[in-house]
Structure 1
């Protein structure tokens, strides 16, 4: 009876082949009876005889998948983690999906191509963020006299350089030095507006996050879920991970205000700020709110507090989820996030103590985006599976 009910699932050639390989692998160490049953099952001609019946009733797929799970569990000592490798592939290619919304409906090849495009775009934005950090640290952006969308070649002759210098004399940077009559030293150079810099960096982070999330949704429409126990564990972790990811984003934005105010050059000591824990001038600006965005002392103090809180929060996330029943991929991501958070704090302290060299400063900015990437991947992996997949999951993941 089971063969008669399951045979329609094998009408599509790709599904028949995938399921055969899946069953053969699952029963490789099973009894001889189970292997013979699998062989007889695929040697019958029932598949062709009930083609019409299956096409007229595609929703029978769900009930057949549940029976297939019971068939696996009935084999002594054997367990295939889930039907996800079979049922998900089928659900991606059929219009009878229940609760699963695909961003790309052109098949696995189309999903792969779109995924490559999205991940490539995200990598390009990542490189632009790192290059932007180098541009800021070397103050290359302040020397621009004009900006052309199509780009252009730098000056190649003495006459062209003189023309560019005349344009530079009209810039706010040159006028400020001319009024003060002082040479442009490292600490006297004009600052980029911290508000504009923060908005610029935040928008880059948002674009990158959107590309990464969308790419993950295309290539991984279902989260890794092998049992209801793991799904429930993922839901518990998600409630803790969401506020932590928000804290990571806020800390990254505060770093933009540190860069915009050149706060990294103010107190190059750690853990104290100079000789004190809290400088006396942290609230000297009026109105009070300006201190959190324009006061060098307060901006650096805020970033120190936020960075330490982020590290403690991520470590606490790992500690609180040690005994939660989770998919191995989720547990690995949590461990990787803890390691990256520790590395990011180490880079930040090293950058501060070394008076913000270009190499460490750009690495610290890249580390912030890497840490955010891991948090995005973790949140994406903790999503709730579709109703179609939930109905096919066992209560507890069994092992061989």
Structure 2
């Protein structure tokens, strides 16, 4: 095996990391479909090895169906479901878990091979090891999420779903960032601290918005208050404050309101960020990255409104979740570009200024 470049970078490693990121992106989308189809609790056991195969005969299917019929979701939501209908939701959850196993193999096996042939730049070995550990943790978090809906609830706890989604997106960001590092080599220039701070705040805000979206999904808040820009004709919907602090995690009106408010803040922040990039004429492509991020935020917000007013049909819900991951990727690349560049920011007048 031959390295494409010098010892500080490896295009082969970068391609491997980007390919794994693409699989994680697919898993995030499939996870959204699994949630929207109500399939997430159809497999009531966690078998990391033996669970790789679906039921192989009629007896196995009958056993899996009987275990599903023992949980509250069946009794309160899907009572009377046929075996054929059960197979429909079962395979979405099975495919979601299969993708997780596939991602583990696609990451772990090349990681060992690249290590053996000393292909991974030394500064990235620790990062890749952390990503591998986070992938294993994600499997545990996924089962922890599922268990919240097997005994007392008819669905998973919203906060656990948000944690599961958030960790998947952290892994996705880490893969994209580390892939860029492997492709381009080590940083050799100092970055302007102020502009980097703004890009980091935007990335953090996008990630927080994704977590709020996870709470909306977990609370099924997208199926209520489907008018816009008001919520049932009001700015602030009725909120069950009797839940205390849990209202911020479980109350359908409040979690949707928070998601909307954060979206407005992101649109404002992203637009100002792009305007400043135009005003100061950022060099080395950073202006294009800023405008791409702002455009992605506006498109995602528009898609969110359309998804909401149509009461979250399956294809729009999946598209909105995919859009969130894409916006997060763009924000990640934008921050990486800012930190790896040393642009001169020029005002329209004779004085130059670095933020």
Whether TM-score is above 0.5 comes out as: yes
2:105 equivalent to 1:141: no
Determine the C-alpha separation between the residues in 2 that align with 1:367 and 1:170: 36
Determine the C-alpha separation between the residues in 2 that align with 1:257 and 1:306: 13
2:81 equivalent to 1:124: no
Preserved CA contact (<8 Å) 1:282 1:295? yes
Q: Counterpart of 1:241? A: 199
| Residues 385, 315 of structure 1: alpha-carbon distance in 2 compared, 3 angstrom cutoff | closer
Preserved CA contact (<8 Å) 2:9 2:181? no
Mapping 1:257-268, distance limit 5 Å? 257-268=215-226
Q: 1:324 aligns with which of 277, 280, 296?
A: 280
Determine the C-alpha separation between the residues in 1 that align with 2:5 and 2:187: 20
Preserved CA contact (<8 Å) 1:223 1:380? no
2:82 equivalent to 1:172: no
Q: Counterpart of 2:289? A: 333
Mapping 1:149-164, distance limit 5 Å? 149-150=48-49, 151-155=51-55, 157-164=57-64
| Residues 380, 110 of structure 1: alpha-carbon distance in 2 compared, 3 angstrom cutoff | closer
Q: Secondary structure at the match of 1:278?
A: coil
Task: For residues 48-100 of structure 1, give each alpha carbon's deviation from its aligned partner in whole angstroms, at most 9, with x where no partner exists.
Answer: xxxxxxxxxxxxxxxxxxxxxxxxxxxxxxxxxxxxxxxxxxxxxxxxxxxxx
Q: 1:215 aligns with which of 179, 182, 194?
A: 179
2:248 equivalent to 1:284: no
Determine the C-alpha separation between the residues in 1 that align with 2:291 and 2:9: 33
Determine the C-alpha separation between the residues in 2 that align with 1:190 and 1:265: 16
Q: Counterpart of 1:114? A: 13
Preserved CA contact (<8 Å) 1:235 1:382? no
Q: Secondary structure at the match of 1:142?
A: coil
Q: Counterpart of 2:154? A: 190
| Residues 371, 291 of structure 1: alpha-carbon distance in 2 compared, 3 angstrom cutoff | same
Preserved CA contact (<8 Å) 2:43 2:64? no
Task: For residues 2-28 of structure 1, give each alpha carbon's deviation from its aligned partner in whole angstroms, at most 9, with x where no partner exists.
Answer: xxxxxxxxxxxxxxxxxxxxxxxxxxx
Task: For residues 331-386 of structure 1, give each alpha carbon's deviation from its aligned partner in whole angstroms, at most 9, with x where no partner exists.
Answer: 11111111111110011111101111111111111111111111111111111569
Mapping 1:196-207, distance limit 5 Å? 196-207=160-171
Deviation of the 1:314 alpha carbon:
0.2
Mapping 1:7-18, distance limit 5 Å? none
| Residues 384, 147 of structure 1: alpha-carbon distance in 2 compared, 3 angstrom cutoff | closer
Preserved CA contact (<8 Å) 2:9 2:184? no
Deviation of the 1:249 alpha carbon:
1.1
Q: Secondary structure at the match of 1:107?
A: coil
Q: Counterpart of 1:369? A: 325
Q: Counterpart of 1:348? A: 304
Preserved CA contact (<8 Å) 1:222 1:385? no
CA RMSD of aligned residues (A): 3.0
| Residues 366, 224 of structure 1: alpha-carbon distance in 2 compared, 3 angstrom cutoff | farther
Unaligned runs of 5+ in 2: 82-152, 343-351
Q: When the two structures are superposed, what TM-score results if normalisation uses the length of structure 1?
A: 0.61
Deviation of the 1:324 alpha carbon:
1.3
Deviation of the 1:285 alpha carbon:
2.5
Deviation of the 1:107 alpha carbon:
2.0
Q: Counterpart of 2:271? A: 315
Determine the C-alpha separation between the residues in 2 that align with 1:117 and 1:155: 32
Q: Counterpart of 1:42? A: none
Deviation of the 1:214 alpha carbon:
0.9
Aligned residues: 270
Determine the C-alpha separation between the residues in 2 that align with 1:385 and 1:353: 42
